[in-house]
C-alpha cells in the first residue's frame, strides 16, 4: 500500500495520482510500504514532523522543490518512479535521525534561549565528557544535516555514511568553542534559563534540560540512480 504527502500547491497532481493509482493520504493509522513525497526537502521534513511513522516506510522523494538534497533521482516522472518501485528497480539508502522526546529530526535539533536578547549558558554532557559555554544556541546535527543549517556556524560537512553527531554553536560568546564531531549516541544539554527546542525548524518545546539521542529508526530513501553526495552538497549550498 502506497501513501502520498504533498506540498499544498501540488494538490492537483496529488489528486491525479490518488485517483489513477489508488494512493492514500499519509496517516499513521495504516502501514504503508512506500510514501511518495511531492515537494522538496521541506515537504519531507514536514511529513516527518507531522507523521513520525513515515520512518516505517520507504520514501520516494520526487524532488519537486527548491532544495532537493534527499531526492530519489535527478530527473524522473512519477509514473516511471511508480513503475520502478513496483518491479523493485531501486536501491535503498539509510539516513540517521535524531530524537528528543516525541520529536524526530532528519537534519538537526537546535536549542535557543526562550528570552530574546539573552545569552544561553549551557552544559553539554556526552560519554566523553562535558562542554560548557555561552552563546545564542546549540545545534546537534546528523552527518547529512551538516550541509544545511550547520553551515551558518562554519561547521564541517560530514559524510552521511559516518556514524557520528555534530555539535556546533550559534554565535558563541565563549570564543574557544568550535564544532565537535563525536561518535556518541546520546547528548544531554542543560541550560541556565528556559530554552526552546526546534527539530528541523519545527516545534517549540520549552525546558532547561534536553536529552537528544540517535534515533532507532533511520530514514529509508529509495534511489533510482547514483547518490553523488558531494554533488548534492554543492547543489544544496547553491540553493540555500
The pTM of this model reads 0.93
Whether 209 shows a pLDDT value over 90: the answer reads yes
Angle CA 33–1–4, to nearest 5: 85
Residue range 20-46, pLDDT digits in tens: 999 999 999 999 999 999 999 999 999
Residue 115 is predicted with a pLDDT of: 87
9, 19, 29, 41: which one is catalytic?
41
41 is annotated as an active-site residue: yes
Residue 74 is predicted with a pLDDT of: 87
Residue 175 is predicted with a pLDDT of: 83
Contact criterion met (CB below 8 Å) for 113 and 136: yes
What's the Cα-to-Cα distance from 186 to each of 6, 16, 99, 166, rounded to whole Å? 33, 43, 10, 12
All structural domains of the chain: 2-96+218-239 (3.40.50.10330), 99-214 (2.60.200.30)
Residue range 90-127, pLDDT digits in tens: 999 999 999 998 899 999 999 999 988 889 999 999 99
Amino acid at each position: 500500500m502506497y501513501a502520498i504527502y504533498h506540498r499544498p500547491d501540488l494538490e492537483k497532481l496529488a489528486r491525479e495520482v490518488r485517483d489513477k493509482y489508488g494512493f492514500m493520504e499519509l496517516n499513521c493509522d495504516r502501514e504503508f510500504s512506500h510514501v511518495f513525497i511531492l515537494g522538496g526537502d521541506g515537504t519531507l521534513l514536514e511529513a516527518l514532523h507531522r507523521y513520525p511513522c513515515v520512518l516505517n516506510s520507504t520514501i520516494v522523494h520526487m524532488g519537486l522543490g527548491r532544495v532537493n538534497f534527499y531526492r530519489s533521482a535527478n530527473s524522473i516522472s512519477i509514473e516511471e518512479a511508480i513503475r520502478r518501485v513496483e518491479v523493485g528497480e531501486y536501491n535503498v539508502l539509510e539516513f540517521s535521525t535524531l530524537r528528543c522526546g516525541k520529536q524526530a529530526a532528519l537534519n538537526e535539533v537546535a536549542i535557543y534561549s526562550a528570552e530574546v536578547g539573552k545569552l544561553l549558558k549551557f552544559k553539554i554532557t556526552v560519554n566523553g565528557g562535558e562542554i560548557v559555554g555561552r552563546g545564542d544556541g546549540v545545534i546537534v546535527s546528523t552527518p547529512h544535516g551538516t550541509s544545511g543549517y550547520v553551515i551558518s556556524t562554519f561547521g564541517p560537512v560530514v559524510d552521511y555514511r559516518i556514524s557520528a553527531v555534530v555539535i556546533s554553536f550559534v554565535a558563541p560568546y565563549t570564543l574557544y568553542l568550535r564544532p565537535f564531531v563525536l561518535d556518541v549516541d546520546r547528548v544531554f544539554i542543560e541550560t541556565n534559563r528556559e530554552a526552546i527546542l526546534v527539530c528541523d525548524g519545527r516545534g517549540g518545546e520549552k525546558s532547561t534540560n534536553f536529552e537528544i539521542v540517535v534515533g532507532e529508526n533511520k530514514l529509508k530513501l529509495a534511489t533510482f540512480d547514483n547518490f553523488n553526495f558531494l554533488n548534492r552538497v554543492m547543489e544544496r549550498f547553491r540553493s540555500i
